[in-house]
Structure 1
Amino acid sequence: MRRNLVEILLSIPAVFLAIAFHEFAHAYSAYRLGDPTPKNMGRLTLDPLAHVDWLGFIMFALFGFGWAKPVQVNPSNFRNRRTGNIIVSLAGPAANMMLAILTLIILLLIQLLVRELGILWNIIVRVIYLNILFALLNLVPIPPFDGYHIVRELFYRKNVKFFWQYERYSLLILLIFIFLGLFDIIVGVPANLIYNYFMQLQGYVLFLLQ
């Protein structure tokens, strides 16, 4: 119980960062594409408190599965509605993966200067892992994840009936995935593989530079 509590506390900074960068990326990309809605709603910020849904935050800290406040956009402000929606949807997962890589580089630089990081190591590696996890989770093609919005924009015009039926049962599909632990397979397994690869690469580079 104590170990679980410690892990949860160590994960809090990582969850805040993952949510803040993910939602800011949605807001910033929409704003750059011509939609002022996110800025008008106060979402064009890296302040995590502007993006946190507290129930989703608690779920993510406890189970690695959660959500944030969705960034509201008005696609009619985009020059190309379809392309704009795809870019905005991709921006969130891309930001999380970029943050994971940036944090990995920062960890490498710190380790070149400091041999023993103690608790800081635990916090930093959680930032790396949870951002990888958040990126992959949001690419799952089930509403309300970003992956679904991407797939919908790409294939909706020729498959209207399919998407209508799919959205109708999307909540049931999501609950089935949660209760059967399918996210552990389709998200957790590749997230672990990417994380392990990143850490092995970081260790190899650190060995060469020391």
Structure 2
Amino acid sequence: MNIPKLIQEIAILAPPFLLALTVHEFAHGFIAYKLGDPTAQRLGRLSLNPLRHLDPLGVLAFLIMKIGWAKPVPVDARYFKNPRRDMIWVSLAGVSANLLLAVASGLAARLLIPLANLLPMALFWPLIQMIAASVWINVMLAVFNLIPIPPLDGSQVLSNLLPREMARIYNKLEPLGFFILLALFYTGIIPKIMRPLISFAQGLILG
């Protein structure tokens, strides 16, 4: 194992990864709050402090598998006027926030690259690498979270679109969701689905 290279990789990936997770969870909590649910605010999760959202296992998974997660922001749908519709909005908030951050990162990259000869190389290249990583990480999180397997955001969207009886049956998958995701990841099914979508989105954003 090349320890210096690993440390360099972590130093480049950690800031955009933490930002992506933080923005994702904050967006869930913010939209839930705007729709009437104060749960995240009361628990201190309506915050842009990464430490409030970190899941050590999710961070470790990202370092090993390049797919990670944060502690889910708690949402109580009983506060919502229309629980099924509003849960869809809350679920899509995190994905939307990541896509917006990916676009913002892409624009930043396009603005900075022409300045290559004006900035010190020691500062410029790590910064560009972080911004480029931010595009990939945010697109990856958005695509990954849209997979309709509990507890990912896509499963909440699907559950609230299904007829109630079908949703009740579908939601029984939740205790098995993590193991299903692991199986699909290690059999290569999830990477095979995600890679072309991520590449397509990155191409649109970075040009």
Same-fold call, TM > 0.5?
yes
**Runs of 4+ off more than 4 Å:** none
Matching of residues 1-210 of structure 1 within 5 Å? 1=2, 2-115=4-117, 117-160=124-167, 162-164=169-171, 166-167=173-174, 169-199=176-206, 201=207
Long gaps (5+) in structure 2 = none
Task: Give the SS at the match of 1:144.
Answer: coil
Q: What are the Cα deviations for residues 43-98 of structure 1, in whole angstroms up to 9, with x where unaligned?
A: 11111111111121121133211211010011011111011100000000110000
Moved more, 190-199 or 156-165: 156-165
Task: Give the SS at the match of 1:44.
Answer: coil
Task: Give the SS at the match of 1:87.
Answer: helix
After TM superposition, give the deviation of residue 181 of structure 1 in Å: 2.2
After TM superposition, give the deviation of residue 8 of structure 1 in Å: 2.5
Task: Give the SS at the match of 1:159.
Answer: helix
Alignment size in residue pairs:
200
CA RMSD of aligned residues (A): 1.9
Give TM-score, length-normalised by structure 2.
0.88
Task: Give the SS at the match of 2:31.
Answer: helix
- Mapped contact 2:54–2:70 kept (Cα < 8 A): yes
Q: What are the Cα deviations for residues 96-121 of structure 1, in whole angstroms up to 9, with x where unaligned?
A: 00000011112222234444632211
Tell me: CA distance 1:58–1:161, structure 2 relative to 1, closer, same or farther (3 Å): closer
**Structure-2 separation of matches of 1:66 and 1:79:** 32
Identity %: 35
- Mapped contact 1:15–1:61 kept (Cα < 8 A): no
